[in-house]
């Protein structure tokens, strides 16, 4: 049964038809990827489904009673609301009614009996009394810090919170617009797992090809106002699309040949008028109209990097370089060499120290320990993921040309408007202020500006955000043929695999190690991200994480028969308690994990209400017991080491 259907939807801005009489329907269990070039109308389609954009014509139909949840492209505000409050807001009417209900209860001076009665009736109707229980369940399921303020969270954690807000209403349809933006790889992989468990209909837009490959079981492509639907994964779709484009080219060639023949016939003049074949004349007019309406496929960008004179063979060398901020170790002392022609990817969770590493390498930051030696003849070009090099008030041409109409590219003068055409900016778009562009277009502007500067050391920080697949693949080809040195920070796993020849992995607690190959090669060699990146909301380990680490260490010490000598400050009884704690903690964690599996099951809340409450109470008790045990562990450990 179709949950969602679109019938003959059309949307146009001026003379540009984004959507032209498109129709499709989708069912529960489908995870539909919406793909297409930047500006093809992907986000517009989601807005039409949400009702935020009114279609020029056509109808959007939802099965009766179906609800829609949304994960917007923009990050939620870093405000002073708690995580619990933000998640609860996703319940919509139930949240509003509960908020009003408790506010009235606190107003003892006035009689609100009638309004309270009305609210109770509405809450009964929408089954809103279990809101707090549902919020607690969602917070536990997504491992969120319920009492943290949004202003205290990183971008990746705020993205988790907004996903919980979208899921709290148990929507039938979930819409996601670039859900992996601002996320590190561990969080992207976590999100993949969460969405694969969603039983409703998912429609999502993404530039992350690995995410697309793992999640989508149906592909919808928007191409020149039309919609192409394909049941299957992205690999099968691309093979299908290649054949379809070949057929389209053949059909267009035959059409153009026929049109040319008819144009020759009509220009014979006297002969055409003498035969008075009015039907043929009308057919020619129809052919002309059809040809004028054909929207040719947008070409690919034409990028080229101008390489400055070669640098010295040595680009940079670290000798026992280490760095920390206050009590947080960013880099443990390490040796490292970058040679000319290296293509190195930097991988690790957000906040692990990748930017600090680059600043030290470039000489912008003095390391606490060790020496950094830079090579000779270095010319650096830097791609900034925050696009701070762009002035949003200036036009595209002004940003790239920096006030000049003519720029020098590979030793030749070129008009800035013509140069921008290579990056798919027609003249009218090149004169548009940057603030009016989409995210993908802004990335192309920054690439265009970057490539005007001769460089033999190219540093790129998240260059793939918002780029369409065709532009991504072109950028890959460009970087693979680049004969300078490349340092690439990216969370795009496919991009890393296709471009870099080695990776520098930030594996937690300041440990940095180099591996040959790309992201998948790192995984095959046993690489993994620190668990703190997916369980903490800041860069400082919590008491719980510290206790778990210490407990694990003691357990490992036991296995290898390396027993630490008891300190005099611990009594015999305390030492026995300390030695037994790793096993106690492990048992509690197993019990809690089993309870989480039980409470995460969709049918759990359909069971007897008393049984549900007892299970949730047991889970809360076990978590409190674990927290108490860990705090006691830290206390004894400090006494032992004191």
Annotated binding site for ATP: 36-43, 348-355
Specify the 3-state DSSP secondary structure of 487: strand
In 3D space, the residue among 167, 2, 141 whose CA is nearest the CA of residue 68 turns out to be 167
Is-contact 199 28, C-beta < 8 A?
yes
Q: Which of 14, 49, 314, 40 is nearest to 175 (CA)?
A: 49
| Structural element, H or E, at residue 100 | helix 93-106
For 51, left (φ over 0), alpha (ψ -120 to 50), or beta? left
Q: Give the whole-angstrom CA distance, residue 195 versus residue 215.
A: 8
Per DSSP (E only), the strands in 418-468 are 457-461
Instruction: Yes or no: say if 313 and 373 are a contact pair by the CB < 8 Å rule.
Output: no
Give me the phi and psi of 413, to 5 degrees please.
Answer: -80, 135
Spatial separation of the C-alpha atoms in residues 555 and 584, rounded to whole Å: 11
As a 3-state breakdown, the chain gives helix, strand, coil percent values, each rounded to 5, of 45, 20, 35
Contacts of residue 8, defined as CB under 8 A and 6 or more positions apart, other chains included, come to 21, 22, 23, 57, 58, 59
Question: DSSP state, 276?
Answer: T
φ and ψ at residue 374, rounded to 5 degrees: -95, 150
Distance, in Å, from the CA atom of 352 to the CA atom of 505, rounded to the nearest integer, reads 10
E strand map for 30-93: 31-35, 57-62, 68-71
Task: Write the burial class of residue 580 (CB in 10 Å: 0-12 exposed, 13-18 middle, 19+ buried).
Answer: exposed
Whole-angstrom CA distances from 328 to 348, 358, 367, 442, 508 are: 16, 18, 14, 35, 11
Measured between alpha carbons, how far is 56 from 18 in angstroms, rounded to an integer? Answer: 11
**Annotated binding-site members:** 36-43, 348-355
Tokens of 500: 């870099």
How many whole angstroms separate alpha carbon 277 and alpha carbon 7?
40
Under a CB-based contact definition with an 8 Å cutoff, are residues 529 and 349 in contact? yes
Residue 410 CA to residue 308 CA, distance in Å, equals: 9
Sign of CA dihedral 379, 383, 386, 392: positive
**Sheet order of strands, 457-461 included:** 380-383, 457-461, 485-489, 343-347, 502-506, 512-516
Alpha helices in 51-184 (DSSP H): 83-89, 93-106, 113-126, 131-141, 155-167
- Asked if 513 and 504 touch (Cβ cutoff 8 Å), the reply is yes
């Amino acid at each position: 049964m179709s949950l969602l259907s679109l019938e003959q939807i059309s949307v146009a801005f001026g003379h540009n038809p984004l959507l032209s009489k498109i129709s499709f329907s989708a069912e529960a269990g489908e995870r539909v990827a919406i793909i297409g070039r930047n500006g093809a109308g992907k986000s517009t389609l989601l807005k039409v489904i949400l009702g935020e954009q009114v279609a020029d014509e056509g109808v959007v139909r939802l099965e009766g009673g179906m609800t829609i949840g949304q994960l917007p492209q923009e990050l939620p505000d870093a405000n002073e609301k708690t995580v619990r409050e933000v998640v609860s807001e996703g319940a919509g009417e139930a949240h509003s009614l509960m908020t009003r209900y408790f506010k009235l209860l606190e107003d003892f001076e006035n009689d609100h009996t009638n309004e309270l009665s009305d609210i109770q009736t509405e809450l009964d109707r929408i089954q809103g009394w279990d809101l707090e229980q549902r919020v607690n369940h969602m917070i536990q399921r997504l491992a969120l810090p319920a009492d943290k303020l949004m202003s205290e969270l990183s971008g990746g954690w705020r993205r988790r919170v907004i996903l919980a807000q979208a899921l709290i209403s148990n929507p039938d349809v979930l819409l996601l617009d670039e859900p992996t933006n601002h996320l590190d790889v561990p969080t992207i992989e976590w999100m993949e797992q969460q969405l694969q468990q969603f039983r409703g209909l998912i429609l999502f837009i993404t530039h992350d090809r690995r995410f697309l490959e793992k999640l989508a079981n149906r592909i919808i492509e928007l191409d020149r106002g039309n919609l192409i639907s394909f049941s299957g994964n992205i690999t099968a779709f691309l093979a299908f699309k290649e054949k379809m484009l070949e057929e389209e080219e053949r059909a267009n060639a035959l059409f153009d040949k026929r049109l040319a023949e008819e144009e020759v016939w009509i220009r014979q003049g006297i002969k055409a008028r003498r035969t008075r074949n009015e039907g043929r004349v009308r057919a020619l007019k129809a052919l002309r109209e059809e040809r004028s309406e054909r929207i040719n496929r947008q070409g690919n960008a034409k990028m080229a990097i101008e390489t400055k004179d070669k640098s010295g063979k040595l680009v940079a060398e670290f000798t026992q370089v280490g760095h920390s901020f206050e009590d947080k170790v960013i880099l443990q002392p390490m040796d490292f060499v970058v040679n000319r022609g290296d293509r190195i990817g930097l991988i690790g969770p957000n906040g692990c120290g990748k930017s600090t590493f680059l600043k030290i390498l470039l000489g912008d930051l003095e390391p606490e320990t060790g020496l950094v030696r830079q090579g000779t003849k270095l010319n650096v070009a830097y791609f900034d993921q925050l696009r701070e090099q762009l002035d949003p008030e200036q036009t595209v041409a002004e940003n790239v040309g920096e006030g000049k109409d003519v720029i020098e590219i590979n030793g030749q003068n070129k008009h800035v408007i013509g140069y921008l055409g290579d990056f798919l900016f027609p003249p009218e778009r090149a004169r548009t202020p940057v603030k009016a562009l989409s995210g993908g277009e802004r990335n192309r502007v920054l690439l265009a500006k970057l490539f005007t500067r001769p460089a033999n050391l190219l540093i790129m920080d998240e260059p793939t955000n918002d780029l369409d697949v065709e532009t991504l693949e072109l950028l890959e080809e460009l970087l693979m043929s680049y004969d300078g040195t490349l340092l690439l920070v990216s969370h795009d796993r496919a991009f890393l695999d296709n471009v870099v020849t080695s990776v520098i992995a930030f594996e937690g607690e300041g440990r940095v190690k180099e591996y040959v190959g790309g992201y998948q090669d790192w995984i095959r060699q046993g690489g993994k991200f620190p668990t703190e990146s997916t369980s903490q909301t800041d860069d400082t380990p919590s008491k719980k994480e510290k206790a778990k680490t210490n407990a694990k260490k003691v357990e490992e010490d036991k296995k290898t028969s390396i027993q630490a000598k008891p300190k005099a400050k611990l009594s015999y009884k305390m030492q026995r308690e300390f030695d037994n704690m790793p096993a106690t903690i492990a048992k509690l964690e197993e019990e809690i994990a089993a309870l989480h599996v039980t409470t995460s099951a969709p049918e759990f809340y359909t069971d007897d209400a008393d049984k549900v409450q007892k299970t949730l109470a047991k889970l809360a008790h076990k978590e409190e017991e674990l927290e108490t045990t860990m705090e006691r562990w830290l206390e004894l450990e400090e006494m032992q080491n004191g």
